[in-house]
Amino acid sequence: MNYGGQMLSEIAFSDNRLDRADHMRTDPERLTAMERGGTALVLALDGLSPVLDAQDRLVWNAPCTDFGQRERVFLGLRDGVPLFVLVPEGGDDRPAYLQRPDWAAISRLSADELALYGGARSLADWHARHRFCARCGAPSVLTKGGWQRNCPSCKAQHFPRTDPVAIMLVEHEGALLLGRGAQFPPRSFSALAGFIEPGETIEQAVAREVFEEVGVRTHSVSYVASQPWPFPSQLMIGCHAFARDRALIIDRTEIEDARWFTREEVAEAVEEGGDTSSFRAPPSTAIANTLLCWWLEKEGQGAA
Amino acid sequence: MNYGGQMLSEIAFSDNRLDRADHMRTDPERLTAMERGGTALVLALDGLSPVLDAQDRLVWNAPCTDFGQRERVFLGLRDGVPLFVLVPEGGDDRPAYLQRPDWAAISRLSADELALYGGARSLADWHARHRFCARCGAPSVLTKGGWQRNCPSCKAQHFPRTDPVAIMLVEHEGALLLGRGAQFPPRSFSALAGFIEPGETIEQAVAREVFEEVGVRTHSVSYVASQPWPFPSQLMIGCHAFARDRALIIDRTEIEDARWFTREEVAEAVEEGGDTSSFRAPPSTAIANTLLCWWLEKEGQGAA
């Protein structure tokens, strides 16, 4: 991948090779024909967690020809084969963020299956948590192959959510500002991040979040890369910014700690990742890891 | 504004100078003190439309000290003065997209008041359309100064939506691809655009939307700028991409028409904006207009 002259390592959850075939979503006859055609595959899930076979591949349940009343989402076509995911009937009461056991499973999936699982999980989770019309409270009905819900009562239309999040590397004279949340594993630090709010640009969200969390004023915000993050459904928008100075006023209600790291410390954490480095870098599935690699390479080229 | 070495003209709805004072949202005592302090101003709205005074400024209702049971959103502090917007009691049944009469009003507002109105409108509209818990159907309750709703029944938490939309200039050997929707004013063309779906990056959404709408394959997608668009609450993510060729296969269910325009045609439409140009450019409040200006300047610098 090449963005703005910088080579980026592959971004997890983004290698989606599926043909989304969106024109089929709006064609009930073709949807029904696909469902009954004898080739449709259904993604196996344990709740919303992936199910892997002995070769660390996603498990697909045998071709299904009768979904009955089960809510399902048409994910798209893979080599002409229609792929579906069922909406968990009882919903999912667990927190939507990434659970520890799932970390291990997703780290074993291939890039394209990880992307496939991520998209399917986001959609199944959205339906499970949005069975009622937010406008009038009546039960809503899945439509358009699972890419919409309609309210039969007030006629409102509802669409799957994608929540944009700004995640940013903040740099000052060759050093990088990273922070850690209270729920992070020991010694882990990562890029600061926060939801983009109504009424602000990406660049404004970066500046606001950094100031709120660590009291640092920034300038020259630039976009680096993005990633779909399916826990539950964020669009991670990776940015870079320069800090005006290094004085930190940490908001402990938002983060547990924040520190400046030298280029050498960041390189050691990313490349060795072991217990000897001064901190633990985020896992390679996180765009924060990609951003750190991008930064090290940029610095290495003297492009800062 | 300066992004990636390119100067951008001011982006409408983005000049937000308000201190969002997010720490006050989570502090019920300070919120109550602000509401009763005698300085709180409430934005005047006609439904969700702005109300302007004779000087084309937003009208603020006299300091309010008793909101009663009315749902309200704490927008932030302007010169220390707390600003609020009330949620329309009956909701708003009109379509959430920008209505024709509002075009005229918003074109008269100053940049900072336009941003203020946009953010307030997005939040008021979200509450008006999300009074019930999407998870269980029970009425939900506004909290955190209007930046969250909680469900007293199933305990679900709900947050204002911001829907990321990719909007893109597609270029081929110095010409630009623009399209028009069926609802556009006569002779108007603008940048292609579409919602970013769960499971895709910004760059993938650009490529997918362009291929779906006009059958053109693209490469070298790059980010240009973003804009909050409050009808109802989009984050417009402006991009640029190169087309592999100019053959168009237009999906008439999505757009009415699409055409390639020369640099001269684009310049004429943006600069003159009159009836003599070969098409009508989008209004200056739309990021599509900003993107066209950016492209003309980039081309002018021979940077393409």
Is A25 part of the contact surface with chain B (CB cutoff 8 Å)? no
Q: What is the pLDDT of residues B28-55, one digit of tens each?
A: 999 999 988 889 999 999 989 999 999 9
Is B249 part of the contact surface with chain A (CB cutoff 8 Å)? no
Radius of gyration for chain B, computed over Cα atoms and rounded to the nearest angstrom = 21
Using CB atoms, which residue from A16, A130, A237 is nearest to B135? A130
**What pLDDT does residue B115 have?**
95
Using CB atoms, which residue from A13, A135, A137 is nearest to B129? A135
CA A58 to each of CA A35, A115, B126: distance values in angstroms, whole numbers, following the listed order: 20, 11, 38
Q: What is the pLDDT of residues B176-220, one digit of tens each?
A: 999 999 999 999 999 999 999 999 999 999 999 999 999 999 999
Maximal C-alpha separation, chain A? 63
Q: Averaged over B60-70, what is the pLDDT?
A: 81
Q: What is the pLDDT of residues B123-161, one digit of tens each?
A: 999 999 999 999 999 999 999 999 999 999 999 999 999
Residues of A with Cβ-Cβ distance to B228 under 8 angstroms:
198-201
Task: Output the six-digit token pair for A242.
Answer: 């320069």
- The rounded distance, in Å, linking the Cα atoms of A263 and A8 is 18
Kindly state the DSSP code that residue A108 receives in the 8-state scheme: H
Cβ–Cβ gap B134/A136 under 8 Å = no
Q: Are residues A104 and A207 in the same domain?
A: no
Whole domain around residue B66: which residue ranges? 2-158
Confirm if A263 and A231 have CB atoms less than 8 A apart. Answer: no
Confirm if B41 and B18 have CB atoms less than 8 A apart. Answer: no
Residue pointed to by tokens 């792929």: A83
CA distance B161 to chain A (A): 7
Closest CA to A292 of A173, A201, A192: A192
Q: Are residues B174 and B286 in the same domain?
A: yes
**What pLDDT does residue B9 have?**
53
**What pLDDT does residue B52 have?**
96
Domain boundary among B132, B158, B184: B158
DSSP collapsed to 3 states, B165-188: EEEEEEEECCEEEEEECCCCCCCE
Q: Averaged over B272-291, what is the pLDDT?
A: 89
Q: Averaged over B223-244, what is the pLDDT?
A: 97
Q: Averaged over B227-245, what is the pLDDT?
A: 97
Residues of B with Cβ-Cβ distance to A3 under 8 angstroms:
203, 222
- The rounded distance, in Å, linking the Cα atoms of A156 and A146 is 16
DSSP string, A123-192: HHHHHHH--B-TTT-PBPEEEGGGTEEE-TTT--EE----EEEEEEEEEETTEEEEEE-TTSPTTB-B-E
Residue B5: pLDDT over 50? no
DSSP-derived 3-state class of residue A269:
helix
**What pLDDT does residue B220 have?**
97
Q: Are residues A186 and A121 in the same domain?
A: no
Residues of A with Cβ-Cβ distance to B91 under 8 angstroms:
135
Which CATH number belongs to the domain containing residue B199 in this structure?
A: 3.90.79.10
Q: Are residues B98 and B10 in the same domain?
A: yes
| Assigned domain for A156 exists | no
Q: Which helix (H) or strand (E) holds A243?
A: strand A234-243
Q: Are residues A71 and A195 in the same domain?
A: no
Omega of the bond leading into A232 within 30 degrees of 0 (cis):
yes
Residues of A with Cβ-Cβ distance to B199 under 8 angstroms:
13, 16, 115, 118-120, 122-123, 228, 230
Using CB atoms, which residue from A23, A147, A226 is nearest to B202? A226
Mean pLDDT (10-residue bins), chain A, 304 residues: 47 90 92 90 93 96 79 95 90 70 88 95 95 97 97 96 98 97 94 96 97 97 97 97 98 96 96 82 94 90 53
- The rounded distance, in Å, linking the Cα atoms of A86 and A106 is 19
**What pLDDT does residue A63 have?**
72
- The pTM score is 0.94
Using CB atoms, which residue from B16, B135, B161 is nearest to A200? B16
Domain boundary among B98, B128, B158: B158
Is A23 part of the contact surface with chain B (CB cutoff 8 Å)? yes
Kindly state the DSSP code that residue B285 receives in the 8-state scheme: T
Which CATH number belongs to the domain containing residue B89 in this structure?
A: 3.90.79.20
User: Does residue A273 or residue B11 have the better pLDDT?
Assistant: B11
Q: Averaged over B219-232, what is the pLDDT?
A: 96
| Number of Cβ within a 10 Å radius of residue A237 | 28
Closest CA to A231 of A50, A41, A83: A50
Domain boundary among B111, B133, B158: B158
For an interface test with A, which of B201, B226, B255 has the most A Cβ atoms less than 10 Å from its Cβ? B201
